[in-house]
């Protein structure tokens, strides 16, 4: 019995060991299956690399179940600090936990794969859309928004561009270098000294129209570019604008001279900027002229407020822009717009301003910042030279009298060239009909004069004869001097009932000169003028703005009273005081020029104006006198 019981105990023990080994074997298979699953998840090579990093490679290859389970823990939880071997009885629980963690990993990987797949699909879609957009952009750039109608319009414009007339006569006959400029040697030298310098300065150029102010300014810049010591580069621009055409808005919405800001709402900036609400600065002509010359013609007619703004730019050498729409913190603002708003646009240029006005009419603030150069009116000889040189450029012959006739009808070089060009056109037309050689004849010029309704510029000419009661005075209009025919007659009347008449159109200053003259006449001759009817006239009704005709009126009255003839090859200017002194007047240079135009041989000016007499007189004698008695000795014809 006892032996039987013992046998059963051994049998039970045998069963428990079998159960133990079967459980262990089952766990081993589970662990192996888990390793296989991990290998399929990560890949065999990556799993080995991962085990090496987590210090689990040796444990993973161990025959001990506990060590292999510890290796699984390190691999699954990615924790190399796990060092305690699990107890055998805890392994099933640990394996369940590991399986749950692996399930989470697989679930995450599945979701990640789905997301990555969707991302890949979306990226592929975006890529295809981008490729399509690029293709459309390329097609736009190649074909643009054109259609057959617009393309036909473009072709018509191209045909028009292909047609070109020859240059205009004035353009072709314009001087090509400073050596071809006639009659302005002093002005050219003065302008060169101020502009073609290491330190160029702003300049105001005065002078009558048509004498070459614009042309000389352009040629002076070309000359300055050739000189190594000037700051002008070979690319220095010459920007030309007419002051009478400069229009601007006080709100700065438009300003072609200084520049303006196109706000995105009111004026409309560029489309891409307007869509972002970004204002767009538009630099003006002063920036276009940066590094060169800004030539403003007729600056005397420019808006005074705009002129003051220009003076500010001359000082700062920069134009500032401002806009309520500008946000310096906006990251979408292009760099060039940010630079223009924060630093302004460069405007370092030399201003050459031309005007036909008197210097007194020009802004004192502008004059204080500029040098001043005066262009001289052209003499008949200079007009004739211009005509001859223009004929050479036209490669045509002129009848001998052509230059002289043209010089009688204008004092402007531009006008003289225009008259010649018209006559040349008639000559070419005549040649086309007859086949004759092109030669400008007197008849061609006279026809142009008749068609253009031209009148001689100088109607009064000096002669070697003498006349009673008639003398040449001198006047100034702008920068042009001219002779004034002043005449007087005297009629004896009943004692004390004489009257004095004078044409009112000559102006109040001239009337004062007449009254002064009557006092001087009585002082010099002793004649009581109340015994005569006196009539003083300015031929042609010329207006006299100053007292400079006093001396001439006095001499005309004396001549008419004494019946003594006055020389007709002399001209007189000067204010006369009631004591008979000749006082200083203005415009001496211009008056001498006017006398030369009329062929006057001698000009008498006040002694006080002696230093105003030009050094080069070219065919006219100028004498300074102090009193009316001194003048009388010079202007009356000698008695025989």
Beta bridge partners of 183: none
Q: What's the full length of the chain, in residues?
A: 640
pLDDT digits (tens, 9 = 90+) for 326-348: 778 878 778 888 888 888 889 99
Pairing verdict, β 318-319 and 345-346: antiparallel
Mean pLDDT of 206-223: 88
Task: Give 420-431 pLDDT, tens digit per residue.
Answer: 888 888 888 877
What CA–CA distances, in Å, run from 598 to 410, 463, 485, 541, 603?
13, 10, 11, 18, 11
Distance CA 625, CA 604 (A): 7
CB 211 within 8 A of CB 183: yes
Least confident among 63-72, 369-378, 543-552, 586-595: 543-552
Whether pLDDT at 3 is above 60:
no
Judged against a pLDDT cut of 90, whether residue 410 lies above it is answered with: no
| pLDDT tens digit sequence for 177-208 | 888 888 888 888 999 999 998 999 999 999 88
CATH architecture of 380-451: Orthogonal Bundle (1.10)
Q: Are strands 602-606 and 570-572 parallel, antiparallel or unpaired?
A: parallel
pLDDT recorded at residue 66: 82
The position carrying tokens 């068609």 is 451
Q: How confident is the model at residue 522 (pLDDT cuts 50, 70, 90)?
A: confident
The gap from C-alpha 160 to its chain's centroid, in whole angstroms, comes to: 28
Please determine, for residue 154, whether its predicted confidence score (pLDDT) is greater than 80: no
Q: What sections of 43-147 are H helices per DSSP?
A: 44-53, 57-60, 65-77, 91-143
Instruction: Output DSSP code: residue 569.
Output: S
Q: Which residues contact 78 (CB under 8 A, 6 or more apart)?
A: 50, 54
What is the structure's pLDDT at 58?
Answer: 81
What local confidence, expressed as pLDDT, does residue 290 receive? Answer: 92
pLDDT band at 394 (very low <50, low <70, confident <90, very high): confident
Find, among 479, 512, 457, the residue nearest to 587 by Cα: 479
Q: Is the C-alpha dihedral spanning 413, 416, 420, 425 positive or negative?
A: positive
Q: Are 488 and 535 in contact (CB under 8 A)?
A: yes
d(CA 444, CA 451): 11
Chain-centre distance for alpha carbon 611: 40
pLDDT at 441 over 80: yes
Residue 438 tokens read as: 């092109």
**pLDDT-based confidence at 390, cuts 50/70/90?**
confident
Structure tokens given for 571 = 């001209």
Which of 151-165, 394-408, 555-569 shows the lowest mean pLDDT across its residues? 151-165
pLDDT number for residue 292 = 92
Predicted pLDDT of residue 93: 82
The answer, yes or no, to whether residue 6 has pLDDT greater than 70, is no
3-state SS of 258-326 is CEEEECCCCCCCCHHHHHCCCCEEEECHHHHCCCCEEEEECHHHCCHHHHHHHHHHHHHCEECCCCCCC
575 and 602 Cβ atoms separated by less than 8 Å: no
Residue 113 has pLDDT above 70, yes or no: yes
Span 602-606, average pLDDT? 91
- Look at 76-85, 140-149, 171-180, 276-285 and tell me which has the smallest mean pLDDT: 140-149
pLDDT score recorded for residue 203: 93
Region(s) of the chain under CATH 3.40.50.300: 173-374
At residue 452 the predicted structure's pLDDT band, cuts being 50, 70 and 90, is confident
Q: Is the dihedral of CA 291, 206, 618, 194 positive or negative?
A: negative
Domain 466-635 maps to which CATH number in 3.30.230.10, 3.40.50.720, 3.30.2090.10, 3.30.70.360? 3.30.230.10
Backbone angles phi, psi at 93, to 5 degrees: -65, -45
Average pLDDT over residues 212-232: 90
pLDDT above 70 coverage of the chain, percent: 87
| Predicted pLDDT at 251 | 65
Q: Which of 446, 482, 489 is nearest to 467 (CA)?
A: 489
Least confident range from 148-157, 389-398, 491-500, 613-622: namely 148-157
Cite the residue boundaries of each domain of the chain with CATH code 1.10.8.60.
380-451
Rounded Cα gap, residues 314 and 366, in angstroms:
10
Dihedral of CA 125/131/134/135: which sign?
negative
Taking the C-alpha atoms of residue 488 and residue 533, their distance in angstroms, rounded to an integer, is: 10
Q: How confident is the model at residue 604 (pLDDT cuts 50, 70, 90)?
A: very high
Structure tokens at 397: 């012959």
Which listed CATH number (1.10.600.10, 1.10.1740.10, 3.40.50.300, 3.40.50.80) goes with 173-374? 3.40.50.300
- Mean pLDDT lowest for which of 142-146, 181-185, 255-259, 404-408? 142-146
Average pLDDT, the chain: 82
Does the reported pTM lie above 0.85?
no
Are the C-beta atoms of residues 241 and 297 closer than 8 Å to each other? yes
Band (293; pLDDT cuts 50, 70, 90): very high
Give CA–CA dist 396/169, Å, rounded: 13
Tell me the two tokens of residue 41: 């998840």
- Cross-strand bridge partners of residue 261: 281
Residue 531 CA to residue 553 CA, distance in Å, equals 19
pLDDT at 320 over 70: yes
pLDDT band for 237, please (50, 70, 90 cuts).
very high
Question: Where in the chain are all domains bearing CATH 3.30.230.10?
Answer: 466-635
Asked whether 613 and 588 are in contact (CB, 8 A), the reply is yes
- Distances 433 to 40, 145, 430, 448 between C-alpha atoms, Å: 106, 52, 5, 19
Q: Which of 324, 320, 407 is nearest to 596 (CA)?
A: 407
**Residue whose entry in the numeric block shows the structure tokens 């030369």:** 596
What does the block give as tokens for 417?
């060239």
Identify the band that residue 5 occupies on the pLDDT scale cut at 50, 70 and 90: very low
- Token pair 């997301």 is found at 115
Q: What is the pLDDT of residue 1?
A: 40
Residue 263: the pLDDT is 74
92's tokens? 């099933």
Residue with tokens 């013609």: 297
Positions annotated as catalytic residues are 548, 591
């Amino acid at each position: 019995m006892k032996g039987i019981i013992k046998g059963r105990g051994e049998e039970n023990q045998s069963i428990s060991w079998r159960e133990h080994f079967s459980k262990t074997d089952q766990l081993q298979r589970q662990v192996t299956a888990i390793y296989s699953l991990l290998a399929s998840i990560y890949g065999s090579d990556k799993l080995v690399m991962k085990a090496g990093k987590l210090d689990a490679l040796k444990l993973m290859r161990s025959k001990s179940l506990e060590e292999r389970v510890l290796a699984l823990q390190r691999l699954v939880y990615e924790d190399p600090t796990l060092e305690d071997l699990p107890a055998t009885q805890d392994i099933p629980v640990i394996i369940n936990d590991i399986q749950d963690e692996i399930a989470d990993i697989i679930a995450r990987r599945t979701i990640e794969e789905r997301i990555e797949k969707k991302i890949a699909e979306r990226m592929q879609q975006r890529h295809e859309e981008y490729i399509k957009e690029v293709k459309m952009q390329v097609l736009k750039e190649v074909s643009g928004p054109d259609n057959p109608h617009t393309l036909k319009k473009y072709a018509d414009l191209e045909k028009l561009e292909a047609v070109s007339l020859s240059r205009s006569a004035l353009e072709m006959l314009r001087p090509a270098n400073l050596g071809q400029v006639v009659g302005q040697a002093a002005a050219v030298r003065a302008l060169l000294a101020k502009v073609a310098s290491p330190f160029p300065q702003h300049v105001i150029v005065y002078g009558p129209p048509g004498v070459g102010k614009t042309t000389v300014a352009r040629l002076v810049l070309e000359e300055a570019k050739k000189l190594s010591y000037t700051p002008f580069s070979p690319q220095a621009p010459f920007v030309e604008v007419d002051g009478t055409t400069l229009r601007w808005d006080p709100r700065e919405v438009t300003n072609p001279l200084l520049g303006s800001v196109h706000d995105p709402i009111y004026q409309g900036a560029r489309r891409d900027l307007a869509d972002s609400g970004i204002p767009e600065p538009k630099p003006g002509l002063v920036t276009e002229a940066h590094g060169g010359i800004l030539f403003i013609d007729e600056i005397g007619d420019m808006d005074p407020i705009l002129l003051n703004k220009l003076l500010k730019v001359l000082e700062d050498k920069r134009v500032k822009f401002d806009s309520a729409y500008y946000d310096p913190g906006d990251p979408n603002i292009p760099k060039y717009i940010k630079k223009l708003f924060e630093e302004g646009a460069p405007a370092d240029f030399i201003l050459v301003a031309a005007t036909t006005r008197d210097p007194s009419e020009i802004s004192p603030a502008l004059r204080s910042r500029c040098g001043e150069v005066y262009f001289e009116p052209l003499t008949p000889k200079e007009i004739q030279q211009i005509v001859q040189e223009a004929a050479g450029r036209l490669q045509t012959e002129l009848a001998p009298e052509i230059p002289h006739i043209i010089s009688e009808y204008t004092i402007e070089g531009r006008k003289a060239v225009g008259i010649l060009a018209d006559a040349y056109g008639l000559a070419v037309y005549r040649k086309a009909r007859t086949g004759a050689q092109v030669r400008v004849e007197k008849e061609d010029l006279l026809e142009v004069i008749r068609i253009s309704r031209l009148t001689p510029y100088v109607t009064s000419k000096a002669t070697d004869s003498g006349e009673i009661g008639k003398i040449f005075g001198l006047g100034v209009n702008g920068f042009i001097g001219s002779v004034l025919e002043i005449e007087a007659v005297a009629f004896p009347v009943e004692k004390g009932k004489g009257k004095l008449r004078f044409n009112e159109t000559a102006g109040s200053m001239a009337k004062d000169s007449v009254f002064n003259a009557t006092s001087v006449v009585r002082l010099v001759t002793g004649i009581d003028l109340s015994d005569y009817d006196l009539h003083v006239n300015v031929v042609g009704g010329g207006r006299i703005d100053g007292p400079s005709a006093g001396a001439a009126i006095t001499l005309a009255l004396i001549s008419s009273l004494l019946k003594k003839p006055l020389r007709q090859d002399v001209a007189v200017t000067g204010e006369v005081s009631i004591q008979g002194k000749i006082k200083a007047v203005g415009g001496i240079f211009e008056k001498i020029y006017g006398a030369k135009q009329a062929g006057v041989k001698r000009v008498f000016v006040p002694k006080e104006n002696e230093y105003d007499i030009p050094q080069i007189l070219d065919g006219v004698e100028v004498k300074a006198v102090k009193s009316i008695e001194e003048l009388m000795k010079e202007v009356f014809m000698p008695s025989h």
